């Protein structure tokens, strides 16, 4: 009897797996609704979340913050303005989390005039949380907040909020706030941890750090990521700056030291150690070796060699080689010539500070030569509009080799997929024959329940006064090999002076509870489109929203485990889909038998 039962069970499992593997093709997204009169969206990816009570809701961030129920009825609105907790546009994606573990979820936004606002969802409404808004005003300026991320920096269960601003010289660009809106200050420090950079001298401060001091300049596009980059249990903060520098901060505010390989070449501070943010990164590894290590040869200058320009460079923290040590992954535009001219985008991968720190800020082996895009599309005849897309990378395993790939949209009109070994796997043209087109961040989810991910993104481009009657807004779906599966022109393009299309990363989840995934698209001026994908499910959400998750920290959403109800005595757990984490065509099965 036991043998017959076992045969039945394993036959059932076999045919169950085959049925999962033989899924239908990805169906074209079907428009459910267009929510109009929202105003203009920038890069604030929408949110699908129950906010702690009942059914899923849709949160949209434009200038105002909207909350709709899953039938698209407006439940609440937080207006924008000088007399309100947030002011002007919401440039970066909003953080959504229960910041202090009180059971009430917050939506946190960064805006103009130095305002960071946390709104609580309670009594079916948005209300500003006690202690907020927080301010990023400094040195007589109140700059716009262009980067926002959350993380439990010190492991106490609370979520801290990191905001980066467009502050230029003379003031701080990086702020960290507690859940109550005050500046984050770890206990026992003799100095003020935040904001950074500060103008104080002495231990823990910036003005004379390593002699030369730390100096920042402008974070103009989603310039913050959070993750663990050393052997301690705390999280680090990665920030990219407009002055060609990328830095890693400890939660104490102190900058992480780079490898002893890098030392100061200037006569005043000759031989001094350098932290991550104290030196310009150059495209050519040989230039960095000569300048920062050997202290020999001509001092580098963009008139003859390329440098990294991190103006709009969202950083990610990821383990590319499965050694349980994270790297910083970031796409930078690369400049040369006087005046500066962007030649291409390139991916740089830098190691964390593990062990004795000897590899800190060094290029990961195999990444000495940086994978690069083509020359950007011409902006001749353009002013600021349309804006360029921050090349936010999606770092996630799509091939099944147990290591993550790197996906991003470059300014040459192509989506690039690069292997964890720095090899370009493919590129796909999204220009639609237009002179100027940009892409959103790329979402990654399975759209037909075959446990193989698809790639979802939107496009945007010229405003109608520059390209009349030419559509620039599309919703595109690619397979994991870069082949176009569906290419849908957005139903309305609009006449917004910022551009046509959808700059914000879409969000891909089940909004209305019918089991199918919805794709939510925020646009320049024509509201919010909601599509549904027949035959899809939430079985594999790898990178379903802007910056990977609702903390917006540049890390994947994570593996979603799925439990199946089976006959008595049999428990089947489908998990770790696609190799160890998420990827062969048949799920990995763990089986418990009680016979």
Residues sharing a CB contact under 8 Å with residue 531, sequence separation 6 or more, in sequence order = 29, 30, 31, 32, 475, 488, 518, 519, 520, 521
The pair phi, psi for residue 348, each rounded to 5°, is: -115, 135
Phi-psi sector, 206: left (phi>0), alpha (psi -120 to 50), beta? alpha
Task: Quote the radius of gyration of the chain (alpha carbons, Å).
Answer: 24
Q: Give the pLDDT confidence score for residue 103 in this predicted structure.
A: 97
Q: Give the pLDDT confidence score for residue 527 in this predicted structure.
A: 98
**Mind listing the domains of the chain with CATH numbers?**
1-35+375-549+577-595 (no CATH), 37-135 (2.40.10.480)
DSSP 34-81: EE-------S---EEE-TTSSS-EEEEESSSEEEEETT--EEEEE--S
Q: Give the pLDDT confidence score for residue 587 in this predicted structure.
A: 33
Distance CA 88, CA 112 (A): 5
Q: Which two tokens stand for residue 215?
A: 């100096």
Q: What is the pTM of this model?
A: 0.91
Phi-psi sector, 485: left (phi>0), alpha (psi -120 to 50), beta? alpha
Is residue 96 within 8 A of residue 57, CB to CB? The reply is no
DSSP 168-211: -TTS--EEEE-TTSSBP--TT-SS---SBS----STT-STTTTT
Q: For residue 61, with 0-12 CB atoms within 10 Å meaning exposed, 13-18 middle and 19 or more buried, which class applies?
A: buried
The pair phi, psi for residue 20, each rounded to 5°, is: -65, -40
Q: Hunting for tokens 């031989």 — which residue is that?
A: 271
Q: Where are the alpha helices (DSSP H) in 233-313?
A: 285-288
Instruction: Identify the helix (H) or strand (E) that includes residue 2.
Output: helix 2-21
Q: Which two tokens stand for residue 292?
A: 């920062």
Q: Which two tokens stand for residue 214?
A: 């730390």
> Per-residue b/e over 214-252, b at no fewer than 16 CB within 10 Å?
bbbbbbbbbbbbbbbbbeeebbbbbbbbbbbbbbbbbbb
Q: Give the pLDDT confidence score for residue 22 in this predicted structure.
A: 59
Q: For residue 256, with 0-12 CB atoms within 10 Å meaning exposed, 13-18 middle and 19 or more buried, which class applies?
A: buried
Distance CA 264, CA 394 (A): 34
Would you give per-residue pLDDT tens digits along the chain (595 residues)?
444 334 334 433 433 443 444 579 999 999 999 999 999 999 999 999 999 998 999 999 999 999 999 999 999 999 999 999 999 999 999 999 999 999 999 999 999 999 999 999 999 999 999 999 999 999 999 999 999 999 999 999 999 999 999 999 789 999 999 999 999 999 999 999 999 999 999 999 999 999 999 999 999 999 999 999 999 999 999 999 999 999 999 999 999 999 999 999 999 999 999 999 999 999 999 999 999 999 999 999 999 999 999 999 999 999 999 999 999 999 999 999 999 999 999 999 999 999 999 999 999 999 999 999 999 999 999 999 999 999 999 999 999 888 999 999 999 999 999 999 999 999 999 999 999 999 999 999 999 999 999 999 999 999 999 999 999 999 999 999 999 999 999 999 999 999 999 999 999 999 999 999 999 999 999 999 999 999 999 999 999 999 999 999 999 996 332 222 333 333 232 223 333 333 333 333 333 333 3
């Amino acid at each position: 009897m036991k043998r017959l039962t076992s045969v039945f069970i394993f036959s059932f499992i076999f045919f169950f797996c085959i049925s999962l593997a033989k899924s239908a093709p990805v169906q074209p997204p079907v428009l459910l609704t267009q929510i109009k009169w929202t105003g203009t969206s920038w890069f604030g990816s929408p949110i699908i979340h129950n906010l702690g009570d009942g059914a899923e809701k849709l949160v949209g961030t434009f200038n105002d913050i909207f909350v709709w129920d899953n039938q698209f009825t407006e439940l609440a609105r937080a207006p924008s303005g000088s007399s309100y907790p947030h002011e002007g546009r919401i440039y970066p994606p909003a953080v959504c989390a229960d910041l202090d573990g009180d059971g009430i979820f917050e939506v946190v936004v960064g805006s103009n005039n130095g305002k960071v606002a946390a709104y609580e969802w309670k009594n079916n409404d948005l209300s500003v949380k006690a202690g907020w808004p927080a301010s990023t005003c400094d040195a007589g300026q109140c700059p716009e907040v262009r980067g926002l991320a959350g993380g439990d920096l010190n492991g106490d269960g609370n979520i801290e909020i990191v905001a980066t601003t467009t502050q230029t010289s003379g003031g701080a660009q990086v702020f960290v706030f507690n859940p109550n809106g005050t500046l984050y200050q770890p206990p026992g420090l003799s100095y003020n941890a935040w904001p950074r950079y500060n103008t104080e001298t002495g231990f823990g401060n910036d003005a004379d750090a390593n002699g030369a001091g730390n100096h920042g300049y402008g974070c103009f596009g989603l310039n913050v990521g959070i993750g663990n980059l050393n052997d301690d249990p705390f999280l680090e903060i990665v920030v990219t700056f407009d002055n060609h520098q990328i830095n890693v901060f400890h939660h104490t505010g102190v900058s992480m030291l780079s490898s002893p390989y890098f030392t100061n070449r200037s006569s005043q501070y000759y031989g001094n150690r350098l932290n991550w943010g104290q030196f310009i990164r150059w495209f050519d590894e040989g230039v960095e070796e000569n300048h920062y290590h050997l202290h020999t040869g001509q001092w580098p200058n963009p008139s003859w060699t390329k440098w990294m320009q991190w103006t709009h460079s969202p950083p990610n923290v990821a383990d590319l080689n499965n050694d349980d040590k994270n790297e910083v992954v970031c796409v930078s535009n690369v400049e040369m010539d006087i005046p500066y001219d962007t030649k291409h985008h390139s991916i740089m991968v830098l190691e964390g500070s593990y062990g004795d720190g000897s590899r800190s800020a060094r290029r990961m082996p195999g990444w000495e030569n940086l994978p690069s895009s083509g020359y950007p599309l011409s902006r001749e005849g353009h002013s600021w509009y349309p804006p360029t897309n921050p090349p936010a990378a999606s770092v996630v395993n799509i091939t099944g080799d147990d290591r993550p790939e790197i996906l991003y949209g470059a300014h040459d009109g192509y989506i690039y997929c690069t292997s964890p070994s720095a090899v370009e796997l493919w590129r796909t043209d999204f220009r639609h024959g237009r002179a100027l087109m940009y892409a959103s961040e790329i979402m990654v989810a399975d759209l037909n329940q075959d446990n193989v991910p698809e790639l979802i993104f939107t496009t945007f481009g010229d405003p109608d006064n520059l390209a009349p009657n030419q559509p620039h807004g599309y919703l595109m779906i690619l397979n994991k090999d870069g082949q176009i599966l569906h290419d849908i022109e957005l139903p309305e393009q609009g006449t917004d002076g910022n551009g046509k299309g959808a700059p914000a990363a879409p969000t891909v989840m089940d909004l209305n509870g019918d089991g199918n995934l919805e794709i939510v698209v925020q646009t320049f001026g024509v509201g919010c489109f909601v599509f549904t994908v027949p035959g899809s499910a939430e079985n594999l959400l790898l990178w379903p929203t802007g910056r990977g998750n609702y903390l917006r920290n540049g890390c994947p959403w994570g593996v979603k485990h799925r439990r199946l109800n089976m006959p008595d005595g049999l428990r089947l757990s489908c998990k770790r889909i696609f190799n160890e984490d998420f990827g062969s065509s048949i799920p990995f099965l763990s089986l418990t038998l009680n016979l």
